Chain A
Amino acid sequence: MNDKDVIVPVGEHPISPYIRMDRMPHIWCPTCGIGTVVKCYATALEETGVDLDKVAIVSGIGCTGRVAGYMKLDGFHSTHGRAIPFATGLKLGRPELLVTVFSGDGDLVGIGGNHFIHAARRNMDLLIILVNNFIYGMTGGQNAPTTPLTAKSSTMPFGNFERPFNLPHLAASCGATYVARWTCLHIRRLTKSFKEAIDRKGFRFIEVIAPCSTLYARLNKLGSGFNLMQFYHDSAEIRHGADTHEVDIGFQDKIICGKFVDEERPTFLEMKDEHYKKTLGDKYIPMPPEGGWIKNG
């Protein structure tokens, strides 16, 4: 094959209207899975037809933490672990917005774990997209609260001996109203999950298993990003409605995917309004709709 045979795609990428093209190229490594998740999320926004002016995206710190900076939405790159409480402030100040938190496993359930469980407990109306690559990528491959037992990381050079989180189970037991898990290979199913979750309310949690060939795969001699995708193909098992007790992930073991929880419960703001209406009657003054309290003098 010579150069003339290579077909170079021309024209716009289908999701370029959703991306800050003036910030491309992005910082993610070749074969990183985060871009795939962004593509699925952008497609879901497009196909659900939500008003993009009313979508805010919040990230913490880390590789996935860069997503908020690349999407052409009101985007907030907050501090490490604090994306969920930051997003809580946005949601409570402007309840009409769709607020999405897009961050990594280390950010959301390592340093941010306490915020994660409490936002789920309150059923805060947030869509949480957690990209799980089993490792701290940005800082160079350190052990994460998701690193499977025996997998190597730069701070567990002889293999991890700490038990990792089973994230769907954590989210479900804290009260999340929508819980799903997919890998970067399941792009149609992942997109469908995003679309479903956009149309729901409450604390919606979607975990996406993503390849990190630069660190996780290299440290564990798992080959390239392609090999990881091949592994997802061979090892992922779709089991909708699975008991979340049973969906933990072992090292190079099967990955149970699917939608595990999809139920309706009143959100924090609905509970607040309903409760105050009941207890305070006409004296209760709810927050003014559409834009809240601002008064532009």
Chain B
Amino acid sequence: MKADPSGVLTGAHYLDGDYSCGEGAMAAGCRFVAGYPITPSTEVVERIARRFPFMGGTFIQMEDEMASMAAVVGGSWTGSKAMTVTSGPGFSLMMENIGLAAMMEIPCVVVDVQRGGPSTGLPTMTGQGDMMQARWGSHGDYEVIALSPQSPQEAFNLTIDAFNLAELYRVPVMFMMDECVGHMTEKVVIPKADEIEVVPRKLTKKSPAEFLPYRFDGGSIPEFARVGDGYKFHTTGLTHDQRGYPVMSAECQEWNVHHLIDKIRLNVDKIVRFDEEQTDGADVVLVTYGITARVARRAIAIARKKGVKVGVIRLIVVWPFPEKRINELAGKIKAFVVPEINYGQMVLEVERCAAGKASAILVPHGGGGVHDPEKIADVILEAAN
């Protein structure tokens, strides 16, 4: 289906990543946002709060991030496309109800404009330290989808993709920005509404008598009934059966959790997305994402000038991770180099997928700024020799 024009600000703009993300959400059809102010993410909801009254949207500033995420899960049960926006400390607080969204299989988008951590850390300065939290942050076993934009333009485009993926797989989708992309201002082109493809919320066509809220076959997505349409369904954060009724048994747990895992893992090839460049015959492949992908361009140029064959994998969808491709490349190259603004998160995934066939070398950065490209280049040169 094409985007609703009321939310699409068609034209060429000069926008920062936060505003652009907000525009992407509105273009995707998001009309319910609950949030709590936190630097450096607040501009996303400020943009939305200013624009929503002109398109029938509802923004509510909740009392904290736990409430924001709970309201988003409730809001999404009404069929509205729903989103919340935060940064590290708030992301930690949201984990409780991100788990609920995963368990209830509720589509929603959680934007995390990352800053330096841990704890209050560096509120106004960049970081990429929440990448593993995005994947594993709530307790128990579940799968999510996470994306990471490298520019304001991508913040727009990928926010739409985030909503579409949330609808397709009935999962919470993490939108992993960082302060640099959030606050960097660049040209953003917003297409016409009829050029934007959005996935609508699909309501079940079954009658209330036939409908079971969690009926699915391997890897398939259960049909959705929204609140207030006479289905009188039950849903819970407890382990549940097809009826959504709690069942406290190891068998039901296996059935329930297996499905949450399967619906993403069996569809990994459809979800995984990355840019790949000059990996044929490469000695070293850089694996990168977010603002660091931009910084690394200079390091790659330096290394190539010195004759090193460097390829690049830029992660667009970060979770699920492109396991297959990393594993294939591992057999052909000497090393992966992974610069990230943390002390080793996605590099662990690269190392796991390389399975000992190539080394995975971290170029760490504690946060508060971006890498010195020379330092990344030095590691590339070292890895090539």
Contact = CB atoms under 8 A, between A and B. Distances in A.
A90 interface: yes
A263 interface: no
B245 A93 contact: no
A283 B64 CA distance: 30
B334 to A, nearest CB: 48
Interface string A73-99: 111111101101111111011101100
A43 B58 CA distance: 34
A88 B74 contact: yes
B223 to A, nearest CB: 12
B63 A118 contact: yes
A130 interface: no
A115 interface: yes
A285 interface: yes
A72 B232 contact: yes
B257 interface: no
Contact of B246 (A58, A69, A287, A292): A69
Interface stretch (A48-56, A165-173, A239-247): A48-56
Contact of A78 (B34, B73, B78, B231): B73
A9 interface: no
A295 B1 contact: yes
A85 to B, nearest CB: 4
A82 B98 CA distance: 12
Contacts of A56: 227-228
A163 interface: no
B60 interface: yes
Given A86-B73, A87-B74, A280-B53, A294 B246 contact: no
Contact of A79 (B97, B232, B233): B97
Contacts of A284: 53-54
Interface string B223-235: 0001111111111
A171 to B, nearest CB: 16
Interface in B56-83: 56-58, 60, 62-64, 66-68, 70-82
A23 interface: yes
A68 interface: yes
Contact of A86 (B1, B74, B80, B226): B74
B332 interface: no
Interface in A22-54: 22-23, 52-54
B29 to A, nearest CB: 7
A77 B63 contact: no
Interface in B179-207: 199-203
B66 A85 contact: yes
Nearest to A68: B234
A75 B96 contact: no
B36 to A, nearest CB: 11
A26 B268 CA distance: 41
Given A97-B227, A296-B202, A296-B203, A74 B74 contact: no
Contacts of A295: 1, 4, 29, 200-201
Given A88-B60, A285-B54, A93 B80 contact: yes
Given A87-B74, A284-B53, A285-B55, A78 B67 contact: no
A286 interface: yes
B236 interface: yes
Contacts of B77: 76, 89-90, 93
A293 B66 contact: no
A114 interface: yes
A276 interface: yes
B6 interface: yes
Given A86-B70, A92-B75, A93-B79, A288 B97 contact: no
Interface of B: 1, 4, 6, 29, 31-32, 34, 53-58, 60, 62-64, 66-68, 70-82, 96-97, 99-100, 199-203, 226-238, 245-246
15 contacts: A53-B229, A69-B236, A69-B245, A82-B67, A85-B67, A88-B67, A92-B60, A285-B6, A285-B53, A285-B54, A285-B56, A287-B31, A293-B80, A296-B200, A296-B201
